[in-house]
Amino acid sequence: MKRVLVATGGGDCPGLNAVIRAIVKRASKEKDWEVVGSIEAFNGILREPTEIMILDEKTVSGIHYRGGTILGTTNKGGPFAWPVKDKDGNWTEVDRSDEMIRKLQYLGVDAVINIGGDGSQRISQALFEKGCNIIGVPKTIDNDLSATDSTFGFQTAIQIATEAVDKLVTTAASHNRILILEVMGRYAGWIALNAAVAGGAEICLIPEIPYDIDKVMKKIDSRFTKGRGFVNIVISEGARAIGANFTIQEEEGNELGYHNLRLGGAANKLIHELKSAGCPYDMRETVLGHLQRGGVPIAYDRVLATQFGVKAFELVLEGKSGVMVSYRHPYISSVPLTDAIARYNYVDPDTALIKTARGVGISFGD
């Protein structure tokens, strides 16, 4: 039997299980292939004892509508940065990539399908350069990979964010308040932009367009008459004022000594900036956070994830390596991993959706 190993890395998102299921279902049509999964990205291969699971049709039955990933995931550690304690008891990182490739060979793995975002695909490329037969599948709710028109999980995240805007609009109107919704996206404002347009927000603040707090205040004032009115603001976690830095929160290290810097607190910072600018209105913030990552994927993401999974395995059958599955409407194709990680998919201020947003009166604070 030939063997393909599947790994899911980085943050979880709706649709991961649909990709796993599609890989297994497509592989089941071939008599000489079996599928195994590594637990928590490549950590399952690197641990002692090895943590892998057989993925067959029974294992993946009905998982396409479930959120998360049955394999588990992590954005910590990995083959090129495995945490170890030195002789003084301090944590450091070592490169175990060569060892991992030898373990894959020992396990009889002929090809690897790595499902993940920008960071995961950089690992894919580095492993490919070391001789690993590897296929990437793009996964990110942030839609920040430029080599594909869309990534699964993105539309579900937009839907969740839009529903949150819908709910906040009614309470903002009832209380004459400014309600600020902070959404994910890191350095790309796609979720915030789409949710603001779909939900009818008055202001949208994204990383690609640093805002002028006075212009934000001007838009807010235009919505109030004699203290009565309301404003809904959608802000990306990476949004910032002109000349300011990103708002960073430090994540506590775990028992392995990891310390990750993550974005967050943009909404709270905006409230303080507005108060400093003399904003007299009542303000509240809502941080949507990981609600955007969880739950049932919408139909669009299930379909796209299934297409990605089938294509990934077919690329394995074709003997391809060092490529990532890509969606270029209306085709599911592939691109070199070097192209996939070459450019971050920022929101272009001249893109059609930005122009649409401006056309319906949404302010970006610029």
Query: pLDDT tens across 255-270, in order?
Result: 444 445 677 899 999 9
Q: What is the pLDDT of residue 250?
A: 62
User: Cα–Cα distance between 116 and 73 in angstroms, integer?
Assistant: 10
Quote the pLDDT of residue 256. 41
Q: What is the pLDDT of residues 204-242, one digit of tens each?
A: 999 999 999 999 999 999 999 988 999 999 999 999 999
pLDDT confidence of residue 321: 97
Q: What percent of the chain has pLDDT over 70?
A: 97
Dig out the tokens for 93 from the structure: 């990182």
pLDDT number for residue 260: 58
In this prediction, residue 294 has a pLDDT band, given cuts at 50, 70 and 90, of confident
At position 236, the amino acid (one-letter code) is S
Is the model's pLDDT at 248 over the cut of 90? Answer: no
Could you read off the pLDDT of 115-151 as tens digits, one per residue?
999 889 999 999 999 999 999 999 999 998 989 999 9
Whole-number pLDDT of residue 76: 80
Report residue 331 as tokens.
């085709």
Identify the residue with better confidence: 263 or 351. 351
Sign of CA dihedral 337, 342, 344, 347: negative
Give me the amino acid identity at 288.
Answer: L
Selecting among 32, 56, 110, 142, the annotated active-site residue is: 142
> Of 50, 43, 36, nearest to 2 (Cα)?
36
Average pLDDT, the chain: 93
Q: What is the pLDDT of residue 257?
A: 44
**The pLDDT of residue 11:** 87
Query: 348 to each of 254, 342, 344, how far by Cα in Å?
Result: 37, 16, 11
Percentage, residues of the chain above pLDDT 90: 84
Q: Is the pLDDT of residue 254 over 50?
A: no
Q: Is pLDDT at 80 greater than 70 in this prediction? A: yes
| Region 28-34 average pLDDT | 96
**Residue 304 dihedral angles phi and psi, to the nearest 5°:** -60, -40
Stretch among 204-213, 247-256, 280-289 having the lowest mean pLDDT? 247-256
Residues with Cβ within 8 Å of 355's Cβ and at least 6 positions away in sequence, in order, are: none
Our answer to whether residue 144 is catalytic in this structure is no
pLDDT at residue number 259: 47
**Segment 23-30 long-range contacts (CB within 8 Å, at least 24 positions apart):** 23/55, 23/113, 23/309, 23/310, 23/312, 23/313, 24/55, 24/56, 24/57, 24/59, 24/60, 25/57, 25/60, 25/309, 25/310, 26/309, 26/310, 26/313, 26/314, 27/313, 28/56, 28/57, 30/317
Q: What is the DSSP letter of 60?
A: T
C-alpha span between 37 and 21 (Å, rounded): 11
Residue ranges and CATH numbers for the domains of the chain are: 2-152+297-329 (3.40.50.450), 155-293+348-359 (3.40.50.460)
Phi then psi dihedrals of residue 267, to 5 deg: -65, -45
